[in-house]
Structure 1
Amino acid sequence: MSTLATSLHLFPNNPFVRTKSVLPTFSTTITSASSSSYPINSNVSLSSIAPLEAILFDIDGTLCDSDPLHYYAFRDMLQEIGFNDGSPIDEEFFINNISGKHNEELCSVLLPDWEFEKAMKFMVDKEALFRRLAAEQLEPISGLNNVCKWVEDLGLKRAAVTNAPRSNAELLISMLKLEDFFEVIVLAEECARPKPFPDPYLKALNALKVSPNHTFVFEDSVSGIKAANGAGMPAVGMATRNPEQMLLDAGASLVIQDYNDPKLWENLQEMVQQKLPISSK
């Protein structure tokens, strides 16, 4: 691997140094709505889900803060092959062109002139690099354990639904110690179409034998929110790395910063105790 440039202010701690370190800050530079407000997107309402029966979770960026590691892996490997005339991709490019997309789609987005088999080999190598980084630096989203306990205490059904390859999904779930939490794990690579198509979420609903009318989704990406909405479910957007307004524009019904967000817990309690819809009030 080539030596990464260290001048980028977005990631002051280079994860390619093979030491245990704090996951670098991945601060967005894209203008977004105020993080103190949580407007409701009128396209999809959460009011129809009461009584709540199930919650579906994306993995990358939703269970764990993995986007910085994906970014590093793509930035280094793309620079090595001379992508963008050898200039490293920046955070804005990653958010707008890579985040949330399936590897087969990324082959045409990033490497349109390559033969598909060669482009997929690049993606496989990138995922292997990501797993090496994740094994050293992966951190759960703040409050994840609390929301998982809440789900278990209520006896809600739950599934993980991801565009990530099996090896990534298994590693992340194992590192987060959620092997016994999820009843079902749905991989987009085993569906006819990945997110943003609804197929993975429809498969999860079928496996859990629940109605989309009583289920909602935690998602952090535009493609994931569109997939959830397409399957007939509202989505709570996780503004882990992607701008809040981007998630709202994609169709998120509510955007939160992490699982400790007071607005999330206020609404969850209301849904369970009073069977009220999530609201921005």
Structure 2
Amino acid sequence: MSSNPARPQRPSAVLWDMDGTLVDTESYWMTAETALVREHGGEWTHEQAMQLVGNGLIDSGRILRDAGVDLEPAEIVDVLTDRVRGLLARDGVPFRPGARELLLALRGAGIPTALVTMSLRRMAEDIVALIDFPAFELIVAGDDVARPKPFPDAYLHAASQLEIEPSRALALEDSPTGLRSALSAGTVAVGIPHIVPLDGCGAHELWATLKGRGVDDVVAAFDRHRTTGTDGSDR
């Protein structure tokens, strides 16, 4: 009599990028960037804005300063953050398709979730506060770590705070920079392309959208790509 097939391994946590993955705020950032550069006498093209997708905010501030904004990078970050926060307060949380539903399903299944973003903490907390259910055990924001994505620091910090090995987490990301961060931390990384393509970025899997994705999809993806030891045991 044959034994039952092994039950798929669930991730110990699902780690969510915010801008472009959980919520569609990239257009807000681009609007704020364009207005700020123009206020300082410069021009800001769509191609330039695309270069900032997934970047750490201070790095983006440096690029905007080079484009003519006569402020220090940290000041630029503060101005942009406050302007985007204002748009969110006015218009609400613009969830990416399927994101709210998947997040709620993961919570219902008892799988811990954390937000891992390069936005400032006050921005992340604003967005989480507008979600109509308890969404995350943990927020790791850009001002919580010394080095931004693509360095692994934010994902390593999230795993440490959740008291899990990074290899036991599945990360959801929409940018090449974010995927590099998640992969270098050792997570199973799923890419959901939004504004920029993710082909060739090393994601374990690419999903065209989160719409229609559920807990079973997350568990199956993690089980397919999780790291195991040479004896087959989980690391």
- TM-score interval w.r.t. the shorter chain? 0.7 to 0.9
Does 1:259 pair with 2:210?
Answer: yes
The corresponding residue for 2:136 is 182
The corresponding residue for 1:122 is 76
5 Å-filtered alignment, 1:46-61, equals 50-61=9-20
The percentage of aligned residue pairs carrying the same residue is 26
The corresponding residue for 1:78 is 37
Aligned residues of 1:107 and 1:116 also touching (Cα < 8 A): no
5 Å-filtered alignment, 1:189-268, equals 189-243=143-197, 247-261=198-212, 267-268=217-218
Aligned residues of 1:248 and 1:254 also touching (Cα < 8 A): no
Q: 1: distance between equivalents of 2:45 and 2:68?
A: 19
Q: 2: distance between equivalents of 1:145 and 1:118?
A: 36
5 Å-filtered alignment, 1:15-164, equals 50-83=9-42, 87-90=43-46, 92-95=47-50, 97-112=51-66, 118-137=72-91, 138-164=93-119
Distance change in 2, residues 1:203/1:265 (3 Å): closer
What is the DSSP-based 3-state SS (H/G/I as helix, E as strand, rest coil) of the residue aligned with 1:111? helix
What is the DSSP-based 3-state SS (H/G/I as helix, E as strand, rest coil) of the residue aligned with 2:199? helix
**Most deviating of 157-166 and 120-129:** 120-129
Q: 2: distance between equivalents of 1:106 and 1:51?
A: 36
Letter in 1 for 2:34: R
Q: CA RMSD in A?
A: 2.6
Q: 2: distance between equivalents of 1:235 and 1:104?
A: 24
Distance change in 2, residues 1:166/1:113 (3 Å): same
Q: 2: distance between equivalents of 1:254 and 1:144?
A: 17
Q: 2: distance between equivalents of 1:177 and 1:119?
A: 34
What is the DSSP-based 3-state SS (H/G/I as helix, E as strand, rest coil) of the residue aligned with 1:177? coil
Letter in 1 for 2:208: Q
Q: What are the superposed Cα offsets for residues 27-66 of structure 1, whole Å, 9 maximum, x if unpaired?
A: xxxxxxxxxxxxxxxxxxxxxx934221100111111111
What is the DSSP-based 3-state SS (H/G/I as helix, E as strand, rest coil) of the residue aligned with 1:249? coil
Structure 2 unaligned runs (5+)?
1-7, 227-235
Cα distance, 1:147 vs structure 2: 1.0
The corresponding residue for 2:233 is none
Name the count of aligned residue pairs: 218
What is the DSSP-based 3-state SS (H/G/I as helix, E as strand, rest coil) of the residue aligned with 2:148? coil
Cα distance, 1:277 vs structure 2: 4.6
Aligned residues of 1:52 and 1:271 also touching (Cα < 8 A): no
Aligned residues of 2:191 and 2:206 also touching (Cα < 8 A): yes
RCO comparison, higher one (Cα < 8 Å, 6+): 1
Cα distance, 1:228 vs structure 2: 0.3
TM-score in terms of structure 1 length: 0.69
Q: 2: distance between equivalents of 1:202 and 1:102?
A: 16
TM-score in terms of structure 2 length: 0.82
Q: 2: distance between equivalents of 1:69 and 1:183?
A: 26
Cα distance, 1:116 vs structure 2: 9.6
Letter in 2 for 1:268: V
Q: What are the superposed Cα offsets for residues 2-51 of structure 1, whole Å, 9 maximum, x if unpaired?
A: xxxxxxxxxxxxxxxxxxxxxxxxxxxxxxxxxxxxxxxxxxxxxxx934
